[in-house]
């Protein structure tokens, strides 16, 4: 599953320096950080509204838009999904240790 994120991250990287007229991502990069942050904010709001509507397909669609735009943000900042997945993995490891410690205590 992470393969999708890695492959998408590669595409996002390849759009750096691409023609903004031929690529949505290149256009976002050209507009700059504030424009990307605006999209992240909009997609977060649309995600909240979709959850409130209670339509599962709509929620999945909006979360995909949100994830996509956060990946664009990470790429623009010189980061990628790998760092986020590593952080989640680290927390998962920590919580695993906590549960283990709890069981032992």
Ligand X SMILES: N=c1c2ncn([C@@H]3O[C@H](COP(=O)(O)OP(=O)(O)OP(=O)(O)O)[C@@H](O)[C@H]3O)c2ncn1[C@@H]1O[C@H](COP(=O)(O)O)[C@@H](O)[C@H]1O
Q: Which residues in 47-74 are b (16+ Cβ under 10 Å) and which e?
A: beebeeeeeeeebeebbebbebbbbbbb
Q: Which of residues 12-31 bind ligand X (CB under 6 A)?
A: 15, 23-26
36 makes contact with ligand X (CB under 6 A): no
CB of 23 to ligand X, least distance (A): 3
With CB under 6 A as the contact rule, the residue among 10, 11, 16, 82 that binds ligand X is: 11
Residues 6+ apart with CB under 8 A from 75: 9, 12, 13, 16
Q: Does 10 bind ligand X (CB under 6 A)?
A: no
Q: Does residue 70 bind ligand X (CB under 6 A)? A: no
């Amino acid at each position: 599953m992470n393969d999708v994120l890695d492959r998408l991250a590669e595409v996002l990287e390849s759009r750096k320096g691409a023609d903004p007229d031929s690529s949505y991502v290149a256009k976002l990069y050209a507009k700059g950080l504030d424009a990307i942050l605006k999209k992240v904010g909009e997609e977060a709001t649309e995600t909240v509204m979709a959850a409130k509507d209670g339509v599962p397909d709509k929620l999945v669609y909006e979360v995909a838009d949100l994830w996509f735009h956060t990946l664009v943000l990470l790429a623009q900042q010189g980061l990628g999904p790998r760092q986020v997945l590593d952080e989640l993995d680290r927390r998962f490891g920590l919580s695993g240790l906590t549960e283990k410690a709890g069981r032992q205590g």
